[in-house]
Structure 1
Amino acid sequence: MEEKRFIDLGLSEDVQKAIAAMGYETPSDIQEEVIPVILEGKDVIGQAQTGTGKTLAFAAPMLSMLQKKDAVSAIILAPTRELAIQVSEEIERIAKFSRVRQLAVYGGSSIEMQVRALRRGIDIVVGTPGRVIDLMERKVLKLDQVDFLILDEADEMLNMGFVEDIETIMAGTNPEKQTMLFSATMPEEYKRLSRKYMKEDRVHIKVAVKSMTVSTVAQSYYEVREQYRFETLCRVMDAEDMESVLIFCRTKRGVDELVDNLSARGYNAAGMHGDMTQNVRIATLKKFKDRKLKFLVATDVAARGIDIDNLSHVVNYDLPQDIESYVHRIGRTGRANRQGIAYSLVNGRELSFMKQIERVTKSTIERKEIPTLEEIFKAKNNTFKDKITAELSTNKYKTFYPVIEEMKETFNVEDIAAALMNMLYKDELSFDYKVNKLDTPKKFVRLFITVGSMDKLTPKKLIDFITTNSGVKPDVIGTIDILTKFSFVDVLAGQEDIIAKHCNGVKLSGRKAKFEVAAKRRK
């Protein structure tokens, strides 16, 4: 059976163009099944495991059908600020050529700015239930003309106690709208909501959970700042003895740019993607298999024809769109009962996705520190010693004795050897490193607080409360999410126990506050 592509699903040209620019060619299982049904105008329940690309599954058809008007056309609800931002950013990419106006609304950020944006005119609103209700009560967010209502991670919203908020929002929407509920599980309360608020001909699409194991692959990740992504890759490659490396990029353009940057610095690299002719791809793959090419950079689609038994490393320079693709990528190493190695470069916002991968694949992904120049120097020296030892086992080096004898008149043998090793080291080191150690993002811990907007809590009040009672400085406090009945605050790792000790039981906005490390969330 021929594999479907996004161009076969009936999406608008603008959306297809955006998906192609994102580097995606073939849909995940949930996308392939759900998109045609949504395009038919039916209400949909989409049930699939985390990390399968549910956002694109509802956003692509919605954007294909969306009609601009002088009112909000679509409302998307998400359980947390982080997920609302994530969904909003994904929609922005899919709507790149569609000229729609979208806005993410959530607690912990300026509601006045959100009000001003809504008054200027917005087509799509992505928000957390509490902030959406706040804006509805202020009469600035009106949902009586929406054509689409989407609940993303609906089961998570129910777990967080948003049932009443969701029903309040649903009651204020256009009864003729198309409703979509996406979730990993199907609790009873979720079924009740679907019966009450969705059309009778709704379609329930459940994608079977696939067994995804990567037991023969040692997985690690490096947390990077975006401006250091390429340098981090170079440091990892310089610090480790790699034989045959497959590097994944999300887009064709990303492949070309990475290959250009690697080649300019002397790395033996080439790329493969769909815009290259079949002959070029076959020739490149042959060089890679014959060990005449050390680094092969590819997109997911181009890599499907790659079958190599002795691949030493897989590197995710960009993470894929879903967990299944991740497993498929790293499964290319660790074959024939050999231990494979997979590295991923991730930024702060992608850390939750790595945790999802761990949960779904039931594996451990170790966090590794980006190699320092000292570590690179040590690794290179070990390599040089091995090469020199191997060379000394031959007699070929003896032809240079006369040169050494001549130089001994001016220099001692140790200096000559050290100079030769320094020349070798400089030749081996392709990147012009400036610092011993790269800065990495600060680590934060998320705290749950039993006080919310119903208690008239504001970010300023919370910051003042924490700093006054615990004695910590304001700069240890990160993102704040204030919801109706409770709140979340990110604090610098190592400060969470101090804050909990001094703030627990103290009155905040008239209520005794309880601070505790938040439970892990699914996305």
Structure 2
Amino acid sequence: MNFKKLGISDNIYNVLMKNGINEPTPVQEQSIGLIMNGSDVIAQAATGTGKTLAFLLPIFEQISPNNNFVQGLIISPTRELAIQITEEANKLSQGKDINILAAYGGKDVSSQIKKLKGSIHLVIATPGRLIDHLMRKTVDLSKLNTLVLDEADEMLFMGFKNDIETIMKFMPKKRQMLCFSATMDSQVKKLAYRYMNDPCVVTIQKEEKLTLDNIKQEVVETTDRHKQDTLCSVLNEDNPFMAIIFCRTKVRVDKLEEGLHQRGYNCAKLHSDIQQSKRERIMKSFRNSDIQYLIATDVAARGLDVSGVTHIYNYDIPETVESYVHRIGRTGRAGEEGYTCLFIDPKNQKMLEEIEKTIKMRISKRQLNQ
């Protein structure tokens, strides 16, 4: 199967070739035709399997540049993910003259509003900033054709449910809706069905397994008091090219970043209290490999695609198995090998057992060189 057989036009096909994207991934192969036919789609596939292009390509094909109204809307749970989708969309716009507005917090509202006075065809937004625009009447969704919820499990279930309900009131009843996510439990599906019209379900099971197969997973037993010292011992042994270290809270991120900085590690922190412009600078530096260690909350685990991340360190055990899978999915991408290390103290044993049960494997214990 190639992109032309899926109905992708020559101009956009040429942009894909120029960017080294020659063949559709399974989620693209199964979703694009359904979306082009106008079906509502729920698509579940592991992180790093090409979900972003699976919805962007058909949206680009369906948008008419001659119609000066918002035809496509993509909502993402985090600014970082919105930026990442916008970057992909901007690449595709070389093949079709489509005006894109990225609407997320931290950007100057007035300049966004000014840009909106021109014709905007596609909006990529976080819920809060989009609602702000809708209330100001600076975004009109009344003629919208296609709505995408990216990371739909988080959008529908983890704190954005009310926002989504508010946004839905501003768009036509008759529109196409697409939900894309790495995980999709039955409760989330139930919520999605409320808004969707007889959706087609695309599930790429094997990809999730393949992603985990590329990742070597280990556990280090420690105590909270000695955790920072233990982490440093591991970092000194591994000396990874690029790594993300995940903490449970913003306070824990701040404390760890301060501790590692004092010990001379090349690190930076990322969480939602950091000013947006600074977050963008940090991510740019990290992508350019100028920062070795990114210390982050789970906000960074959602959909961030940074090539070159070789190691993931779970300084704090995540609160859910899904979070664990999302976190470790930052490495071992595109067939590369990855490594993850989980630091646990005795009280985390139950959560570790739950993780092992879900991923159907025992995570081996790592012994440190003393």
TM range (shorter): 0.5 to 0.7
Aligned-partner SS, 1:205: strand
> What is the aligned counterpart of 2:144 among 141, 146, 149?
146
- Report Cα offsets for 1:65-103 as digits up to 9, x if no partner: 112312111110011111001001101112211000001
2:269 is matched with 445
Alignment CA distance shift 1:167-1:23 (3 Å)? same
- Report Cα offsets for 1:28-72 as digits up to 9, x if no partner: 110111111111111111110111000100111111111231211
Per the TM alignment, residue 521 of structure 1 is displaced from its structure 2 partner at its CA by 2.2
2:50 is matched with 53
Quick one: distance in 2 between partners of 1:31 and 1:345?
Answer: 31
Q: Does 1:13 align with 2:10?
A: yes
Alignment of 1:62-141 (within 5 A): 62-68=59-65, 69-141=67-139
Alignment CA distance shift 1:448-1:95 (3 Å)? closer
Matched to 1:74, the amino acid is: G
Structure of greater relative contact order (alpha carbons < 8 Å, 6+ residues apart)? 2
Matched to 2:196, the amino acid is: M
> What is the aligned counterpart of 2:203 among 206, 222, 241?
206
> What is the aligned counterpart of 1:518 among 283, 293, 297?
297
Per the TM alignment, residue 190 of structure 1 is displaced from its structure 2 partner at its CA by 2.4
Matched to 1:5, the amino acid is: N
Residue 78 of structure 2 contacts residue 302 of structure 2 at CA under 8 Å; is this kept in 1? Answer: no
Quick one: distance in 1 between partners of 2:142 and 2:241?
Answer: 44
- Report Cα offsets for 1:227-254 as digits up to 9, x if no partner: xxxxxxxxxxxxxxxxxxxxxxxxxxxx
Matched to 1:161, the amino acid is: G
> What is the aligned counterpart of 1:43 among 32, 40, 47?
40
1:187 is matched with 185
Quick one: distance in 2 between partners of 1:215 and 1:72?
Answer: 41
TM-score when normalising by structure 1: 0.44
Q: Does 1:479 align with 2:290?
A: no
2:340 is matched with none
Residue 37 of structure 1 contacts residue 44 of structure 1 at CA under 8 Å; is this kept in 2? Answer: yes
Aligned-partner SS, 2:110: helix
Alignment of 1:297-336 (within 5 A): none
1:32 is matched with 29
Aligned-partner SS, 1:76: strand
Unpaired stretches in structure 1, ≥5 consecutive residues? 217-343, 356-440, 450-457, 464-476, 481-491, 497-516
Alignment of 1:142-291 (within 5 A): 142-158=140-156, 160-200=158-198, 202-210=199-207, 211-212=209-210, 213-214=213-214
Matched to 2:297, the amino acid is: A
Alignment CA distance shift 1:345-1:448 (3 Å)? closer
Residue 80 of structure 1 contacts residue 128 of structure 1 at CA under 8 Å; is this kept in 2? Answer: yes
Quick one: distance in 1 between partners of 2:157 and 2:278?
Answer: 25
Quick one: distance in 1 between partners of 2:182 and 2:6?
Answer: 23
Q: Please say which of residues 13-22 and 75-84 is displaced more in the overlay.
A: 13-22
- Report Cα offsets for 1:262-314 as digits up to 9, x if no partner: xxxxxxxxxxxxxxxxxxxxxxxxxxxxxxxxxxxxxxxxxxxxxxxxxxxxx
- Report Cα offsets for 1:196-253 as digits up to 9, x if no partner: 21112x201111134333479xxxxxxxxxxxxxxxxxxxxxxxxxxxxxxxxxxxxx
Residue 444 of structure 1 contacts residue 478 of structure 1 at CA under 8 Å; is this kept in 2? Answer: no
Residue 5 of structure 1 contacts residue 26 of structure 1 at CA under 8 Å; is this kept in 2? Answer: yes
Per the TM alignment, residue 193 of structure 1 is displaced from its structure 2 partner at its CA by 3.0
**Runs of 4+, deviation exceeding 4 Å:** none
Matched to 1:61, the amino acid is: P
Quick one: distance in 2 between partners of 1:93 and 1:215?
Answer: 30
Alignment CA distance shift 1:187-1:21 (3 Å)? same
Aligned-partner SS, 1:478: helix
Quick one: distance in 2 between partners of 1:159 and 1:174?
Answer: 23
- Report Cα offsets for 1:459-517 as digits up to 9, x if no partner: 6xxx9xxxxxxxxxxxxx9238xxxxxxxxxxx999x9xxxxxxxxxxxxxxxxxxxx6
Residue 157 of structure 2 contacts residue 188 of structure 2 at CA under 8 Å; is this kept in 1? Answer: no
Per the TM alignment, residue 442 of structure 1 is displaced from its structure 2 partner at its CA by 6.9
Unpaired stretches in structure 2, ≥5 consecutive residues? 217-239, 247-264, 281-290, 304-370
Quick one: distance in 1 between partners of 2:241 and 2:17?
Answer: 23
Quick one: distance in 2 between partners of 1:41 and 1:153?
Answer: 21
Aligned-partner SS, 2:148: strand
Residue 241 of structure 2 contacts residue 292 of structure 2 at CA under 8 Å; is this kept in 1? Answer: no
Alignment CA distance shift 1:448-1:140 (3 Å)? closer
Name the Cα RMSD after superposition: 3.3
TM-score when normalising by structure 2: 0.60
Matched to 2:166, the amino acid is: T
Alignment CA distance shift 1:208-1:188 (3 Å)? closer
Per the TM alignment, residue 19 of structure 1 is displaced from its structure 2 partner at its CA by 1.2
Residue 14 of structure 1 contacts residue 98 of structure 1 at CA under 8 Å; is this kept in 2? Answer: yes
**How many residues in Structure 1 have an aligned counterpart in Structure 2?**
248
Percentage of pairs with the same residue: 35
Per the TM alignment, residue 130 of structure 1 is displaced from its structure 2 partner at its CA by 0.4
Quick one: distance in 1 between partners of 2:3 and 2:19?
Answer: 12
- Report Cα offsets for 1:376-425 as digits up to 9, x if no partner: xxxxxxxxxxxxxxxxxxxxxxxxxxxxxxxxxxxxxxxxxxxxxxxxxx
Per the TM alignment, residue 16 of structure 1 is displaced from its structure 2 partner at its CA by 1.3
Alignment CA distance shift 1:197-1:214 (3 Å)? closer
Per the TM alignment, residue 518 of structure 1 is displaced from its structure 2 partner at its CA by 2.6
Quick one: distance in 2 between partners of 1:215 and 1:38?
Answer: 32
